[in-house]
């Protein structure tokens, strides 16, 4: 029988080379997770006929997280996260069911060839795939090699062939370096984030950030932005003076001369120089020079330079630019976009990619001329030993790519053509003048050969008027000489491009992670992106950085993270022990954490200057069940209620609106209920602030509303308003929204399913009776006589929302506009779901209702 081989790629990587590998003879289908496709074809491998399967994964298969109780912020001292808290690998996206998918497809295979991205992250994903697939592959014969690694830089027929001909093995050291980084970022980030979030959100009401996060790379990135802000604030403008002189070149033209002293900061001295020159009528030529100069073509393109240009010239943020480049790569338009190298290998085929552009409507003439006259060897850049520079692999147009992707593709292509073009040559002419005792200069440039600036016109030498021909001793009439007062100006806020340069210079992040860190400080409300893509720190960002400087400057300076990155690189090269690096780094940060906690008062002093205490923030909303005074609703993220008398804070659901719920009270604790709503098209439910933060029953979790409360007699609970099992999710229960009339809604208390029903009904109640068919609770509906949909003159009807033929036309299944997060988030958080309770079909313990019933119900709704 033929051997079977499994090829694994990432994202849409599997598709472009398939037609080439399979000679166009392949079958395709969707995998069990409905996301990844599986392509099968017959071929040869190791000189024997085989049946190939090729599929993909969506980024990392697994992610690192803490076990059990260590994900609960309120029950674990953050200091324990450095060493005592055990970690586990769990599926990065459980909804994709990736592990099971890989095991189903890998079962019965003899060989596996890994085509993941050729960087450290890709190497780590290789071993995640192997952990899932190796146990279910066919047993190996003694000494037979069954795991192979393909290394490639672009998705072209040539590169695919070359990679298949020299298959290697996955690099375990590079994978370990990623494991080390993930664990360091998880433990360090979670410990600092949890402590400072709980500490400051418990004291201040207008921080406007749901998470006060810390990150070993994120925080130094913010530090660069705040450092520039501080320079701007501390800048004091100084007045200076310059002499400006004009001489007549001919009848219609004058030359503006530059003063050789440039500027002076003493007005009296400047006035003295003016007095010494203002009576002079002639400027004498002291020297002339004409030199041919060259403006060098650019180095080959790497990731950091691409991100810089995308931000400064294309108006694309680093995260968006990286995502766009990855799409261009997986579609086969450019080579691998994550590289630090700016030097092409000696054997790199430069003419191949160039020929691909020979018929492009925008640059065909330039390309054909280069191919005819001969290309110029690119400049020698830096060889990081990872991947070749970013190169266009095939021709494309704007209509083919879309405007956003086209702009980036156009720049990448023009840059590549420029690297094999010739330098721009120009003639620089300089004339030195003397007016009295002072010296002045005039410079002009004339282009001799445009070279690479023909394809990159924005790099062209500025057009300047040619200088008159003259020689030493010639004189020109002085038409004007004056003293001009000016002021020094402060630096501007950092642009994204400048920040990327600083991060690269100081070793903060990698070419792949730099966009993520910049995006994080924007999302955390630490900086805002202003016009020109300049990053302006917010009050919160400024105070945090100043606080870190006050307590421990190394937390925000780039030095310590840069040193950690070097250690991680040594792990990747096999020159450092994974466990030793991990243990030493965690020990250093653990000591810093304890010192930070002991010294937090220093940062708190800065916080209280910029932010208001909880007691002074927000507006009165609902009464506290303990003191019966009004609690204040703090709308800024994270939204919460604060009782200043009891000094208690109650977290609320996020991403919605909160209002008082009819002044009704919880029967358990006497707190006034509030109503959370995601909008008119979404779902809403009442909740008790105290119960949501201190669950009263074992089967309730923190953050749950009344629609999940199992109180047996409360009129707002799941027990009284629950109808039956959700039609889409496993554990959810459909619950009547009693506040939704006259546009009544039934919503799932777990997922975002919403059923709109009984429009214009006067009243809808959940009956104590149940359906004899499905055991769901019956609904009793009273209609307005003028708008009743019931036959005859009927205005009342009681029936099952699932089974009743009268209700069938009155119910429509929809989805909420958004599914809001119920719990406070943060690194290392896990969100539990629990089993749905309430009015569900009973049946036998441990059994589920027949699936065909639910399927029929879903079809009926839709």
Q: Are 348 and 354 in contact (CB under 8 A)?
A: no
Residue that terminates a domain, selected from 421, 446, 471: 421
Q: What is the pLDDT of residue 24?
A: 62
DSSP class per residue in 270-321: HHHHHHHHTT--EEEEEEEEEEEEEEPPPPPP-HHHHHHHHHHTT---HHHH
Give yes or no: residues 503 and 478 share one domain.
no
Extract the tokens encoding 364: 């065909």
Kindly report, residue by residue over 744-765, the tens digit of the pLDDT: 889 998 888 888 888 878 889 9
Q: What is the pLDDT of residue 824?
A: 32
**Residue 421, φ and ψ in degrees, nearest 5:** -90, 180
Q: Are 649 and 642 in contact (CB under 8 A)?
A: yes
Residue that terminates a domain, selected from 714, 743, 767: 714
Kindly report, residue by residue over 376-412, the tens digit of the pLDDT: 999 999 988 778 899 999 999 999 999 999 999 999 9
- Residue 2, pLDDT > 70, answer no
Give yes or no: residues 108 and 135 share one domain.
yes
Give yes or no: residues 541 and 649 share one domain.
no
- Please state the three-class secondary structure of 320-379 as a single string: HHHHHHHHHHHCCCECCCCCCCCCCCCCCCCHHHHHHCCCCCCCHHHHHHHHHHCCCCCC
Give yes or no: residues 681 and 745 share one domain.
no
Give yes or no: residues 287 and 140 share one domain.
no
Question: Does residue 83 lie within any of the structural domains?
Answer: no
DSSP class per residue in 162-210: HHHHT-B---HHHHHHHHHHHHHHHHHHHHHHHHHHHHHHTTBS----S
Extract the tokens encoding 502: 């600083």
Determine if residue 62 is left, alpha or beta; phi over 0 gives left, psi from -120 to 50 gives alpha, anything else beta: beta
Q: What is the pLDDT of residue 62?
A: 95
Q: What is the pLDDT of residue 617?
A: 75
The CB density around residue 449, as the number of other CB atoms within 10 Å, is: 12
Would you tell me the crossing angle of helices 218-234 and 539-551 to the nearest 10 degrees? 100
Which of 50-64, 739-753, 801-815, 842-856 is modeled with the greatest confidence? 50-64
Q: What is the pLDDT of residue 572?
A: 95
The structure tokens 């779902």 sit at 683
Give yes or no: residues 21 and 135 share one domain.
yes
- Residue 706, pLDDT > 60, answer yes
Q: What's the whole-number mean pLDDT along residues 412-432?
A: 96
- Residue 839, pLDDT > 50, answer no
Lowest mean pLDDT among 151-155, 244-248, 690-694: 151-155
Q: What's the whole-number mean pLDDT along residues 171-194?
A: 96
Q: Which one, of 288, 308, 543, lies nearest residue 415 by Cα?
A: 308
Extract the tokens encoding 360: 């492009």
Alpha helices in 347-491 (DSSP H): 351-356, 364-373, 398-401, 403-419
pLDDT band for position 783 (50/70/90)? confident
Distance CA 204, CA 209 (A): 11
Q: Which one, of 412, 418, 364, lies nearest residue 389 by Cα?
A: 412
pLDDT band for position 1 (50/70/90)? very low
Give yes or no: residues 463 and 521 share one domain.
no
Lowest mean pLDDT among 261-270, 754-763, 842-851: 842-851
Question: Does residue 838 lie within any of the structural domains?
Answer: no
Q: Which one, of 188, 6, 157, lies nearest residue 82 by Cα?
A: 188
Question: Does residue 843 lie within any of the structural domains?
Answer: no
Q: How many domains does the chain have?
A: 6
CATH number, domain containing residue 122: 3.40.50.140
Distance CA 414, CA 394 (A): 13
Distance CA 349, CA 154 (A): 13
- Residue 492, pLDDT > 60, answer yes
Q: What's the whole-number mean pLDDT along residues 771-787?
A: 86
Distance CA 251, CA 260 (A): 26
DSSP class per residue in 61-83: SEEEEE-GGGG-GGGS-GGGGGT
Helix, strand and coil content of the chain, in percent to the nearest 5, comes to: 35, 25, 40
As a whole number, the mean pLDDT across the chain is 87
Question: Does residue 69 lie within any of the structural domains?
Answer: no
Give yes or no: residues 650 and 670 share one domain.
yes
CATH number, domain containing residue 360: 1.10.290.10
Q: What's the whole-number mean pLDDT along residues 705-727?
A: 90
Distance CA 659, CA 582 (A): 48
Instruction: Give the Å distances, CA to CA, from 845 to 732, 776, 837, 841.
Output: 17, 17, 13, 11
Q: What is the pLDDT of residue 385?
A: 72
Give yes or no: residues 602 and 617 share one domain.
no
Q: Are 55 and 8 in contact (CB under 8 A)?
A: yes
CATH number, domain containing residue 552: 1.10.460.10
Quote the distance between the C-alpha of residue 573 and its chain's center. Answer: 28
Extract the tokens encoding 606: 């800065």
The structure tokens 């494309």 sit at 396
Q: Are 634 and 640 in contact (CB under 8 A)?
A: yes
Task: Please report which helix (H) or strand (E) contains residue 23, including its range.
Answer: none
- Residue 738, pLDDT > 80, answer yes
Q: What is the pLDDT of residue 315?
A: 93
Task: Please report which helix (H) or strand (E) contains residue 530, including its range.
Answer: strand 527-530
Give yes or no: residues 345 and 322 share one domain.
yes
Say whether 244 sits in a helix, a strand or coil.
Answer: strand
Question: Does residue 693 lie within any of the structural domains?
Answer: yes
Residue that terminates a domain, selected from 148, 170, 192: 170
Kindly report, residue by residue over 466-476, the tens digit of the pLDDT: 888 899 999 99
Question: Does residue 67 lie within any of the structural domains?
Answer: no
Per-residue burial over 654-677, b if 16 or more Cβ lie within 10 Å, else e, is bebebeebeebbbebeebbbbbbb
Kindly report, residue by residue over 208-262, the tens digit of the pLDDT: 777 899 999 999 999 999 999 999 999 999 999 999 999 998 878 899 999 999 9
| DSSP 8-class letter at 594 | H
Distance CA 668, CA 649 (A): 18
Give yes or no: residues 477 and 571 share one domain.
no
Burial class (CB in 10 A: 0-12, 13-18, 19+), 198: middle
Distance CA 568, CA 579 (A): 11
- Domain containing 123 equals 14-58+93-170
Task: Please report which helix (H) or strand (E) contains residue 539, including its range.
Answer: helix 539-551
- Residue 605, pLDDT > 70, answer yes
Instruction: Give the Å distances, CA to CA, from 798 to 583, 643, 833.
Output: 66, 44, 32
Question: Does residue 752 lie within any of the structural domains?
Answer: yes
Task: Please report which helix (H) or strand (E) contains residue 9, including its range.
Answer: strand 3-10
Say whether 671 sits in a helix, a strand or coil.
Answer: coil
Question: Does residue 78 lie within any of the structural domains?
Answer: no
Q: pTM score, two decimals?
A: 0.76
Q: What is the pLDDT of residue 20?
A: 54
Give yes or no: residues 668 and 556 share one domain.
no
Interior CA angle at 570 toward 565 and 576, to 5°?
120
Residues serving a catalytic function are 336
Enumerate long-range contacts of 165-172, CB under 8 Å, 24 or more apart.
167/113, 170/114, 170/123, 170/126, 170/127, 170/130, 171/123, 171/572, 172/127
Query: What percentage of residues in the chain have a pLDDT greater than 70?
Result: 91
Kindly report, residue by residue over 656-677, the tens digit of the pLDDT: 889 999 889 999 999 999 999 9
Half-sphere exposure of 473 (CA within 13 A, CB side): 0
* Sign (positive or negative) of CA dihedral 506, 508, 514, 516: negative
Q: Are 656 and 677 in contact (CB under 8 A)?
A: yes
């Amino acid at each position: 029988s033929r051997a079977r081989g499994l090829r694994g790629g990432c994202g849409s990587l599997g598709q472009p080379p398939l037609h080439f590998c399979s000679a166009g003879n392949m079958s395709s289908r969707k995998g069990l997770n409905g996301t990844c496709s599986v392509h099968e074809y017959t071929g040869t491998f190791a000189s024997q006929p085989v049946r190939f399967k090729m599929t993909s994964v969506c980024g990392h298969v697994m992610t690192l997280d803490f076990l059990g109780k260590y994900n609960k912020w309120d029950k674990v001292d953050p200091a324990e996260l450095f060493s005592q808290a055990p970690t586990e690998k769990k599926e990065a996206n459980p909804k994709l069911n990736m592990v099971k998918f890989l095991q189903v497809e890998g079962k019965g295979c003899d060989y596996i060839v890994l085509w993941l991205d050729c960087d450290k992250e890709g190497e780590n994903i290789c071993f995640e795939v192997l952990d899932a697939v190796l146990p279910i592959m066919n047993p190996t014969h003694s000494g037979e090699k069954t795991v192979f690694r393909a290394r490639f830089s672009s998705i072209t027929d040539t590169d695919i062939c070359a990679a298949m001909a020299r298959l290697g093995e996955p690099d375990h050291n590079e994978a370990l370096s990623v494991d080390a980084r993930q664990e360091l970022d998880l433990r360090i980030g979670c410990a600092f984030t949890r402590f400072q979030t709980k500490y400051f959100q418990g004291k201040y009401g207008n921080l406007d950030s749901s998470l006060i996060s810390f990150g070993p790379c994120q925080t130094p990135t913010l530090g660069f932005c705040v450092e520039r802000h501080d320079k701007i604030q501390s800048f004091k403008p100084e007045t200076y003076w310059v002499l400006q002189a004009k001489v007549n070149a001919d009848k219609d033209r004058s030359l503006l001369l530059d003063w050789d002293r440039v500027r002076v900061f003493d007005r009296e001295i400047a006035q003295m120089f003016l007095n010494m020159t203002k009576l002079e009528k002639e400027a004498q030529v002291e020297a002339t020079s004409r030199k041919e100069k060259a403006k060098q073509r650019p180095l080959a393109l790497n990731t950091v330079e691409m991100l810089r240009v995308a931000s400064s010239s294309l108006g694309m943020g680093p995260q968006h630019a990286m995502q766009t480049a990855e799409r261009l790569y997986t579609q086969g338009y450019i080579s691998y976009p994550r590289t630090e190298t700016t030097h092409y290998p000696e054997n790199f085929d430069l003419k191949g990619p160039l020929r691909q552009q020979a018929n492009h409507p925008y640059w065909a003439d330039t390309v054909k001329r280069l191919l005819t006259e001969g290309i110029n060897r690119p400049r020698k850049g830096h060889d990081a030993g990872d991947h070749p520079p970013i190169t266009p692999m095939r021709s494309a147009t704007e209509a083919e790519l879309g405007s956003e992707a086209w702009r980036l593709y156009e720049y990448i292509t023009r840059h590549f053509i420029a690297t094999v073009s010739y330098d721009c040559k120009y003639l620089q002419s300089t004339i030195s003048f003397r007016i009295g005792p002072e010296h002045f200069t005039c410079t002009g440039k004339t282009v001799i050969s445009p070279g690479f600036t023909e394809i990159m016109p924005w790099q062209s030498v500025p057009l300047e008027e040619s200088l008159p021909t003259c020689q030493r001793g010639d004189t020109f009439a002085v038409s004007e000489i004056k003293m001009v007062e000016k002021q020094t100006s402060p630096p501007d806020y950092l642009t994204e491009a400048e920040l990327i340069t600083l991060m690269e210079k100081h070793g903060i992040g990698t070419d792949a992670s730099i966009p993520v860190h910049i995006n994080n400080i924007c999302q955390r409300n630490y900086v805002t992106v202003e016009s020109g893509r300049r990053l302006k720190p917010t009050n919160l960002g400024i105070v945090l950085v100043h606080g870190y400087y006050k307590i421990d400057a190394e937390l925000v300076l780039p030095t310590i993270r840069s040193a950690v990155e070097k250690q991680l690189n040594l792990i990747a090269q096999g020159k450092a022990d994974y466990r030793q690096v991990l243990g030493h780094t965690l020990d250093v940060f653990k000591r810093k954490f304890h010192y930070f906690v002991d010294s937090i008062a220093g940062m708190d002093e800065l916080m209280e200057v910029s932010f208001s205490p909880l007691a002074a923030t927000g507006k009165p909303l609902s009464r506290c069940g303990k003191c019966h005074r009004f609690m204040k609703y703090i709308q800024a993220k994270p939204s919460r209620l604060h009782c200043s008398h009891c000094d208690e804070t109650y977290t609320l659901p996020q991403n919605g609106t909160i209002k008082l719920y009819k002044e009704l009270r919880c029967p358990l604790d006497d707190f006034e209920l509030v109503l959370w709503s995601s909008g008119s098209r979404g779902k809403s439910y009442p909740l008790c602030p105290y119960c949501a933060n201190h669950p009263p029953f074992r089967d309730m979790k923190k953050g749950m509303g009344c629609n999940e409360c199992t109180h047996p007699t409360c009129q707002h609970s799941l027990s009284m308003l629950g109808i039956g099992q959700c039609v889409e999710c496993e554990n959810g229960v459909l619950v009547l929204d009693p506040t939704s009339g006259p546009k009544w809604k039934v919503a799932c208390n777990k997922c975002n399913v919403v059923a709109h029903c009984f429009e214009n009904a006067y009243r809808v109640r959940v009956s104590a009776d149940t359906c004899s068919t499905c055991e769901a609770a019956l609904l009793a509906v009273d209609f307005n006589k003028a708008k009743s949909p019931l036959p005859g003159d009927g205005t009342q009807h009681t029936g099952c929302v699932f089974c009743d033929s009268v209700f069938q036309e009155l119910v429509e299944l929809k989805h909420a506009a958004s599914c809001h997060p119920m719990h406070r988030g943060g690194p290392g958080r896990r969100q539990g779901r629990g089993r749905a309770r309430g009015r569900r079909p009973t049946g036998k313990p441990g059994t589920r209702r027949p699936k065909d019933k639910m399927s029929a119900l879903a079809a009926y709704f839709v």
